[in-house]
Amino acid sequence: MHVQAVVANTLDVLATNFGLGYTPPVTQEQGGAGLVDEGPEGVPGIVSAWRALAARHAAVSAALERELGERHGLGVTEFEVLERLAEDQEHKFRVQELAEAVHLSQSALSRLIGRLEQHGLVERSLCDLDRRGIYVCLTEAGRRRHAEALPTQRAVLAAALTGA
């Protein structure tokens, strides 16, 4: 499979994940013609593209974990939670919406929020309108930690994704 095809497939996946008006490159009627052709090792092209995408994701995630952990004491998902909260105008999210945004189950997010709370980076509060709803709010310490870690995260992404 050509490098351009792998890049195109990667861009298709990113467009889907970020809601950028994604249109599938292959209709069901086409049946993936050209993508399922076997490559030099007898592996279908679509499988090779998937493996390349998965390997790139693993490499970027490992680099982010290492740098964010060593420099700022944060994991990738912890940073992503702080990032989503920092981006929000009110610096808060309902737990259910935050779980969807960072691709975690509510129980996994609840444990992560507990760890961030222990470090004073976030706090939970009840929703004024719906007492069953719980908000996660970014604290001042959380804003500072996010601001300190942001250049590290962006530098790792730039190096890994653009070759900078």
Phi and psi at residue 93, to the nearest 5°: -140, 150
Q: Is residue 35 within 8 Å of 45, Cβ to Cβ?
A: yes
pTM of the model: 0.72
| Model confidence pLDDT, tens digit, residues 61-86 | 999 999 999 999 999 999 999 999 99
Q: Lowest-confidence range among 5-9, 63-67, 84-88, 155-159?
A: 5-9
CB atoms closer than 10 angstroms to residue 63:
16
Closest Cα to residue 45, out of 4, 86, 84, 103?
4
Domains of the chain (ranges; CATH) run 1-72 (no CATH), 74-164 (1.10.10.10)
